[in-house]
Structure 1
Amino acid sequence: MNFLEIELNKDKKIISEDFKYRKRLIVVFIISVLVTTLLLLRLFYLQIIQNEHYDSLARNNKEQIIPIDAYRGEIYDRNGIIVAENIKTYTMYMIPVYLPKNYFEREELLYRVSKVFNIDLGHIKSSLEKVSKNSYESVEISENISMAQMSYLAERSEEYPGVYYGSKSVRHYPLGETMTHVLGYIGNISQEEFESKQAEGYRRNSVIGKEGVEQFYDKELRGIDGYVQWIVDSRNRVKETISPAIGKPIPGKKLILSIDSKIQKDAEDLIRGQVGTVIVSKPTTGEILAMVSSPWYDPNIFIGKIDRQKYAELINNPANPFWNKAIRGRYPPASTFKLVTAVGALAEKRIGVNTTRYCGGGMLLENRFYRCTGQHGYVNMYRAIQFSCNTYFYNLAYELGPNFIKRYAEMLGFGDITGIDLPGEKVGVVPSADWKRRKIGEYWWDGDTIQYVIGQGYMSATPIAVHMSTSAIINDGVMYRPHVVKEIRSSQTDEVIYNNDKIIIKKLDIDKNIFTVVKEGMRMAVSGGTARNGAWSPHIKLAAKTGTAQNAQGKDHTWVTIFGPYNPRPTDDMIAVTVMLEHSGGGGGATAGPIATAMLRSILGGENAVEARNVIYARMQYIYEQIRLAREKMKEEQENGENPENIDGEQQKEEDKKDANEDERIKYE
């Protein structure tokens, strides 16, 4: 190899190495550009796109948003007596993100909080499990801490990172058990409720109405929650509290009930110890003055820590104290339902007021004898209502048919909700031939119609439905929406926002004189019919319809639906009362009648309700005893061969027949 070739090879080698160097520089440059670009993109993402998120995280290192529960609206009765109020209490809560991140440190802190502040450790952990460990949401772990505990936590806040105290209002019902099913109660929001209402501003530690008006009007009562800002240092010490104007909570609205707490208490005293319901209202406005479902409970048991033993006793009570029987109980309405057919038959002129039917003690149909409450002879519409003559209505139902009865039952409100402002209202059954085929798979027989017309068989209704049908009759066909809340007012200005009175839900196109006939028959039931003893009132004219619903499982249920002072036309001073007693035996006039009458004598006459009831009971017992003694005397004279007052044999038979009727009437009163 010559010198020239050597030099050329050197030059080639230099060029090759230079090319490789430049190539490496280009790769390094490209990588540098890519890395720089990625860094810039990441910086743009963090600084611009995620600015709000990381700015919030940075602020939360020194700022904490503490929610403030809105003041729940108070509830008053119609006379201004407070029946649901708020009591201030102190709470302890945790913010998960500020708790120790180390598992063992976190567990040690929770254990220490449990021991020092006497809070169940399981409750603390289960409460925290509902939210993320990185959540800024406050989790309440105790709703009633003492001033000493609060002071202890304030002095040692550094030792309890993520643990704080605050204040809240706790519901209290000053009248205790009175008005239980009307008011309801409040409780902690459930997971299901939270998921469905989170968008409405509810938090995991919110309280929510569970029953009664507390539930029905929860949106109006709860208000709008506010908040404050806490500025804290690295040791979790609050250095400053900021209360922005927009964070001020807005209190809930005030409810004014149509309920009169005195009338409510009287009704409770009258039915205490029995299972049933009492409804008292003003028919011309729809205002419910009292609504009792017996037995009941004290809603204050749900405030704070629940007494498990007491709660278990209530849950296991076969009479179901939590069930508002006035709007949820479904029972055969018995003879109170006869008024429906009476209105329909007269309205369509299917029978005249004075058209008579003969009652010989019952009706024979399809080889079965359907009994009446007595042997009433020839009766027209007035006397049929007065003596609650089954035979009269048996014949009427046979002529009219079940579809006719169903149509007028629905016109008078049966088979539909009344729309009362309480949650959970149920609907009874208004049967028909189609209904029976669909639900039971059987044909409709004439015997079904016979049972239907006297409010038994497949027919069922809630007490509020029976009460409202009576109200429609009292009001000559106008039915106002029943309500337990009269007004909604502003808690800040006391301005009336809404009034529930006189909202018409139904207006029947029926001649007023038809209702007058029915009301006159109800008046005759008190003056000398099925309600003459149980609805006795010496100074106030009353009108009533009694009912006794046969029950194969036990003693009969009994009814009375009554109003006063009696007037053929509706007046604003009229009060209507419906009483239904489960398994009371006897008849509606003798069992439910004295309770309803005592209510009216108390409201309209100023008498003591319990004393008035006791007087009615004593008078009934005296009358029954006199009848018994007279019957024994007559029997003794007959056995001695005497014929009192020279009564011949045929006359004596008539007297015996009257005695038998009297026995039946007493039974059904």
Structure 2
Amino acid sequence: MSDLLVTRSDVGEFRKRYKYFVLVVFIAFMAVIVRLFQLQVLDNTKYSGIAHENIIRRVTLATTRGVIRDSQGKILASSRPAYNVYIVPGRVMPSARPIRRGSSEADEPDSWPKVAETLRLNPDERTRFDERIRNACRTDENKSPCWRSILVREDLSRDIVAEVKQHQVELPGVEVVSAPVRYYPYKNLGSHALGYVTEIDAETLTRFRPEGYDQMSGAEQQKVNPLGYTAGDAFGATGIERAFESTLRGQRGWEKRVVDAHGRYRTGPEAARLIDAPARQEPIPGRDLRITIDIELEQAIEKAMRAQLAGAAVVIDVRTGRLLGLYSKPDFDPNDLSGGGGKERFRETIHKLGSDPLRPMLDKAMSGAFQPGSTFKPFSALAGLEDKTVNPDERERCDGYLYFGRRVFHCKHVHGRVNMREAIGESCNIYFFKLAQAVGMDRMANIAHEFGLGVRTGIGVNPEAAGRIPTRSWYALRYRGQYRIGFALNTAIGQGDTAVTPLQLGLAYAALANGGTLYLPQIVRTVEASDGSVEQDFPPRVRQKVKIAPENLQRVTDSLWSVVNDPKGTAYAVRDDFLEVSGKTGTAQNEVRKPPEDDPKRAWYYQKDHAWFVSYYPSRAPEIAVVVLVEHGGAGPTIAAPIAINIIRDYARINAARAGRPPPRTSKSTNTPAAGAHGNAAAAPKPAEPPPPAPAPPPAPVTTDPAMPEDPATPTEPPAP
């Protein structure tokens, strides 16, 4: 008994340690309390926001891209709804998930066979998606690919969409998403000018979302990515769609939605209570554009060019510089490239267009540079008139050839003795060979630059070719100081290394027609709001006034009138007796590309010359300038000129119909077989010829460099007039 009352020695030791145990427990509880206070009171806002973000997802709402209309208000590009089908792999094929035994989800049936049947998937597509679904569902975590939506079909027909909606209860995990797709109702017509819209590629997206983009502040992100591009966005790839992307694009909106642990959207009063205001921001649609192109005139151009394989046509209002028609052939259907038919159709179209030797993706009106041939002769003539080195009334003899150094420069016809007016009207090469010796290359280049040739026009729609107007210094650099006079002879008739675009040539002839005003080309007329109100108007802009004496311009325009209306003119055979047209034909030799030896048809095609006709109408009070280029078409007078006359005829018909006037009378003399052979000039309402210019002083002494023995120019067989 007494032993029980004796205090054990180890109890005292425990009492000493007990104090420390209590202290440790107290400190631990205090740490927990402090941490709870920090999480629930001090950091409540921060973690409440994180928890809120875990269940609230901001869904982007697509905006509507602006509409593009022609000059008369007809819609050329708009947006239409496209229906895409997405599936959640884990829901359409539960059997592919590693579900634990005893789980109720293990007994869920697969809806994937029904989905594949409803979407009309072929066996290859079904096999491919079967494998993709099973690979996605190797893990069943909340954020695994098994619960992420994948795209199955794009741009479904309305019948299939209706069937999916009808069986929505039987098809869990299937969602039909409506997205706007760019639509071009006129298809190929004007495709190069309009351009197309496509999904932004990874390289372009990297420019707008560089490394570390997600860590940037909102202001920094706005600076590097002002239009808010993200993966999968559509953007303007070419043409007006690209040049006016910021105007047409619009601004996306957003909507807040409640999601569960599997990423599935939840609806109902309880879900609505969790969403804080504002719950939605409406998208802002893009602004509309009204362009200067007249689609009815564009249809007339397409009809006139239907028989040709490749070429370009430009119609310009000479009073404003506005483009009424801009056509390049071959063309393409922008609907195939804008995502409407799906990615597979896009890849097939790109491959087809890229392998076409006629280069349908190249805008030949502004991105292609070609030798102008005889259409360059009016500018060579102006160089001689401005320098007073030639007398326009003095006649030069044309025997069909000209010896120069060790080479012979040819003319396709023997014209006899001709003055400047007759040389332009009948397209005499010999006259201009002699003029080039008197004027020199640099002076011809200066006049050509004065009219905007060899310089980009600044239209800013598609990549623009600068062309080339060679000078003595350019040849000296290319041939190491070995400049030859033969170069100038070729330049005078638009051959050699001279190259221009149809758009440049059209603007230059428009300046000839309007008295010397060179305009900047304009293709967009106004920017409009969705209600039609004008937000921005683009007036005509003058590029420069050419420094040419009016009487010299008058002499040249008088010569251009003779090309079409004089019985000896190269375009006389195709004139319309009731249209007052002035212009110039051209047949330009080109460097022959060697085609495959086993393809004689291609060899025949590439060996043909380029056919040109540049004109303005009407001659006395010009309204439009028309340029027609038929690539590898042959002779300008017989190929390009009839096309231009038909375009002008349709322009007059369209204007008369819009003004309520009866259709203009037309002539069928465009079918005359040979220039000046037949014709009915007596019935033609011949316009009054402009007053003759003041006589020029006698020509100054001709000083030219001696021709070198080995002239590297290419004078063999200059082009036909």
TM-score of the superposed pair, with normalisation by structure 2: 0.72
1:563 pairs with 2:556:
no
Deviation at 1:229, TM superposition (A): 2.8
1:207 pairs with 2:218:
no
> Residue 422 of structure 2: which of 365, 378, 383 is its match?
383
> Residue 360 of structure 1: which of 399, 411, 427 is its match?
399
> Residue 395 of structure 1: which of 415, 426, 434 is its match?
434
Pick closer, same or farther for the CA change 1:408–1:581 going to 2, 3 Å: same
> Residue 304 of structure 1: which of 329, 341, 364 is its match?
341
1:194 pairs with 2:221:
no
- Which whole-Å CA distance do the structure 2 matches of 1:109 and 1:189 have between them? 33
1:574 pairs with 2:623:
yes
Preserved contact between residue 90 and residue 96 of structure 2 (Cα < 8 Å): no
For 1:551, what is the secondary structure of its paired residue?
Answer: coil
Q: Name whichever of 555-564 and 344-353 sits farther off.
A: 344-353
Deviation at 1:282, TM superposition (A): 1.0
**Structure 2 match to 1:599:** 647
Pick closer, same or farther for the CA change 1:541–1:105 going to 2, 3 Å: farther
Deviation at 1:114, TM superposition (A): 5.8
- Which whole-Å CA distance do the structure 2 matches of 1:622 and 1:561 have between them? 17
Structure 2 residue ranges without an equivalent (≥5): 1-7, 100-109, 137-142, 210-224, 593-606, 658-663, 680-718
**Structure 2 match to 1:319:** 358
1:527 pairs with 2:565:
yes
Deviations 1:478-530 (Å, cap 9, x if unpaired)? 12222333222111x21112333412222223333322221111011112244
- Which whole-Å CA distance do the structure 2 matches of 1:539 and 1:32 have between them? 105
Residue identity opposite 2:283 in structure 1: P
Q: Which structure features the higher share of helix residues?
A: 1
* 1:396-411 matches, cutoff 5 A: 396-411=435-450
Residue identity opposite 2:63 in structure 1: A
**Structure 2 match to 1:258:** 292
Preserved contact between residue 433 and residue 443 of structure 1 (Cα < 8 Å): no
Identity of aligned residues (%): 26
Deviations 1:161-206 (Å, cap 9, x if unpaired)? xx53332223322223322222222222222233334521223232
Deviation at 1:75, TM superposition (A): 2.2
Residue identity opposite 1:603 in structure 2: Y
For 2:402, what is the secondary structure of its paired residue?
Answer: strand
**Structure 2 match to 1:486:** 525
Q: Name whichever of 13-22 and 331-340 sits farther off.
A: 13-22
Deviation at 1:110, TM superposition (A): 8.5
- Which whole-Å CA distance do the structure 2 matches of 1:422 and 1:466 have between them? 18
For 2:575, what is the secondary structure of its paired residue?
Answer: coil
**Structure 2 match to 1:239:** 268
For 1:325, what is the secondary structure of its paired residue?
Answer: coil
**Structure 2 match to 1:584:** 633
- Which whole-Å CA distance do the structure 1 matches of 2:25 and 2:47 have between them? 31
- Which whole-Å CA distance do the structure 2 matches of 1:441 and 1:105 have between them? 77
Deviation at 1:103, TM superposition (A): 8.8
Deviation at 1:226, TM superposition (A): 1.6
Deviations 1:109-144 (Å, cap 9, x if unpaired)? 999866764565768969x99xx9699998755333
Deviation at 1:341, TM superposition (A): 2.3
Pick closer, same or farther for the CA change 1:206–1:478 going to 2, 3 Å: same
Deviation at 1:563, TM superposition (A): 0.7
Deviation at 1:41, TM superposition (A): 7.4
Pick closer, same or farther for the CA change 1:618–1:488 going to 2, 3 Å: same
Pick closer, same or farther for the CA change 1:33–1:98 going to 2, 3 Å: farther
Preserved contact between residue 394 and residue 450 of structure 1 (Cα < 8 Å): yes
- Which whole-Å CA distance do the structure 2 matches of 1:360 and 1:317 have between them? 44
Deviation at 1:413, TM superposition (A): 1.1
Pick closer, same or farther for the CA change 1:18–1:462 going to 2, 3 Å: same
Pick closer, same or farther for the CA change 1:477–1:228 going to 2, 3 Å: same
Pick closer, same or farther for the CA change 1:133–1:388 going to 2, 3 Å: farther
**Structure 2 match to 1:635:** none
Q: Name whichever of 432-441 and 72-81 sits farther off.
A: 432-441
For 1:249, what is the secondary structure of its paired residue?
Answer: coil
1:282 pairs with 2:328:
no
- Which whole-Å CA distance do the structure 2 matches of 1:52 and 1:218 have between them? 36
- Which whole-Å CA distance do the structure 1 matches of 2:36 and 2:94 have between them? 30
> Residue 70 of structure 1: which of 63, 76, 80 is its match?
63
Preserved contact between residue 531 and residue 544 of structure 1 (Cα < 8 Å): no
- Which whole-Å CA distance do the structure 1 matches of 2:183 and 2:19 have between them? 85
Preserved contact between residue 386 and residue 552 of structure 2 (Cα < 8 Å): yes
1:56 pairs with 2:53:
yes
Preserved contact between residue 272 and residue 295 of structure 1 (Cα < 8 Å): no
Preserved contact between residue 153 and residue 164 of structure 1 (Cα < 8 Å): no
Residue identity opposite 1:276 in structure 2: G
- Which whole-Å CA distance do the structure 2 matches of 1:372 and 1:249 have between them? 66
- Which whole-Å CA distance do the structure 2 matches of 1:110 and 1:208 have between them? 34
Deviations 1:245-264 (Å, cap 9, x if unpaired)? 86111222222222222211
- Which whole-Å CA distance do the structure 1 matches of 2:319 and 2:147 have between them? 54
Preserved contact between residue 649 and residue 666 of structure 2 (Cα < 8 Å): no
> Residue 230 of structure 1: which of 244, 248, 257 is its match?
257
- Which whole-Å CA distance do the structure 2 matches of 1:314 and 1:451 have between them? 35
- Which whole-Å CA distance do the structure 2 matches of 1:448 and 1:115 have between them? 71
Residue identity opposite 2:256 in structure 1: Q
Deviation at 1:577, TM superposition (A): 0.6
**Structure 1 match to 2:376:** 337
Deviation at 1:83, TM superposition (A): 2.4
- Which whole-Å CA distance do the structure 2 matches of 1:497 and 1:371 have between them? 57
Deviations 1:610-663 (Å, cap 9, x if unpaired)? x9999345222596699xxxxxxxxxxxxxxxxxxxxxxxxxxxxxxxxxxxxx
TM-score of the superposed pair, with normalisation by structure 1: 0.77
**Structure 1 match to 2:216:** none
Residue identity opposite 1:398 in structure 2: Q
* 1:107-126 matches, cutoff 5 A: 117=119, 120=125
**Structure 2 match to 1:82:** 75
- Which whole-Å CA distance do the structure 2 matches of 1:265 and 1:104 have between them? 57
* 1:439-518 matches, cutoff 5 A: 443-491=482-530, 493-518=531-556
Q: Name whichever of 141-150 and 183-192 sits farther off.
A: 141-150
Residue identity opposite 2:442 in structure 1: N
- Which whole-Å CA distance do the structure 1 matches of 2:65 and 2:444 have between them? 47
- Which whole-Å CA distance do the structure 1 matches of 2:296 and 2:383 have between them? 38
Q: Name whichever of 431-440 and 198-207 sits farther off.
A: 431-440
Deviation at 1:556, TM superposition (A): 0.8
Structure 1 residue ranges without an equivalent (≥5): 1-9, 627-666
Deviation at 1:295, TM superposition (A): 2.0
**Structure 2 match to 1:144:** 155
- Which whole-Å CA distance do the structure 2 matches of 1:97 and 1:256 have between them? 48
> Residue 178 of structure 1: which of 179, 189, 206 is its match?
189
- Which whole-Å CA distance do the structure 2 matches of 1:17 and 1:113 have between them? 73
Deviation at 1:327, TM superposition (A): 1.2
Q: Figure out how many residues of one structure are paired with residues of the other and give that number.
A: 601
Preserved contact between residue 448 and residue 469 of structure 2 (Cα < 8 Å): yes
- Which whole-Å CA distance do the structure 1 matches of 2:452 and 2:41 have between them? 68
Residue identity opposite 2:201 in structure 1: S
**Structure 1 match to 2:699:** none
Deviations 1:261-290 (Å, cap 9, x if unpaired)? 221111111111312111112111122222
- Which whole-Å CA distance do the structure 2 matches of 1:444 and 1:138 have between them? 68
Pick closer, same or farther for the CA change 1:31–1:209 going to 2, 3 Å: same
Residue identity opposite 1:407 in structure 2: N
RMSD: 4.2
> Residue 166 of structure 1: which of 155, 177, 181 is its match?
177
Q: Name whichever of 270-279 and 181-190 sits farther off.
A: 181-190
